[in-house]
Amino acid sequence: MTIASGSKVITFIHTRDRERSKAFYRDVLGFTVTADDPFGTVIDLNGITLRITPIADYTPHAHTVLGWQVLDIDAAIDALAAKGVKMIIYPGFGQDEKGIWTSPDGEAKVSFFHDRDGNGLSLTQT
């Protein structure tokens, strides 16, 4: 048996403020909270489990830790912007005014944003 045979992915996000983080993933991104226990909050990411774990002195990493493949990146960005989320535009990266980077072959579009703790998140349209 291997891990890949029959196992399901669980991913983790760390936070300094559990309630603020829970509200972001539930109210801004629109996912369902399925459980809360003394050690964290569980969110259903369309069949993938996200566990939000509080760490008092947490410092986010500089790289993207979680992303979503979307059908329409422009519409997804507009929906996030309506809820106060700002896309990150990296100097010299070649993104458009909405923060979308397009791959050289034109097949992929990617945009980046942060959750309320500064965790790097992304949207990808292929």
Domain CATH for 73:
3.10.180.10
Residue 1 has pLDDT above 70, yes or no: no
* Same domain, residue pair 84 and 49: no
Q: Are residues 53 and 64 in the same domain?
A: no
The answer to whether residue 50 scores a pLDDT higher than 70 is yes
Asked whether residue 9 falls in the same domain as residue 52, the answer is yes
Same domain, 81 and 97: yes
Do 67 and 34 lie in one domain? The reply is no
Q: Are residues 22 and 41 in the same domain?
A: yes
Q: Among positive and negative, which fits the CA dihedral 44, 47, 77, 100? A: positive
Give the separation between CA 8 and CA 48, rounded to whole angstroms: 7
Query: Exposed, middle or buried: residue 94 (CB in 10 Å: 0-12, 13-18, 19+)?
Result: exposed
What residue numbers bound the domain in which 95 lies?
Answer: 60-126
What mean pLDDT do residues 64-69 have?
96
Token couple for 14: 């760390």
Domains in the chain: how many in total?
2
Model confidence over 88-106: pLDDT tens digits? 999 999 999 999 999 999 9
* Residue 69 sits in the same domain as residue 126: yes
Indicate whether 32 and 73 sit together in one domain.
no
Residues 46 and 2 in one domain: yes
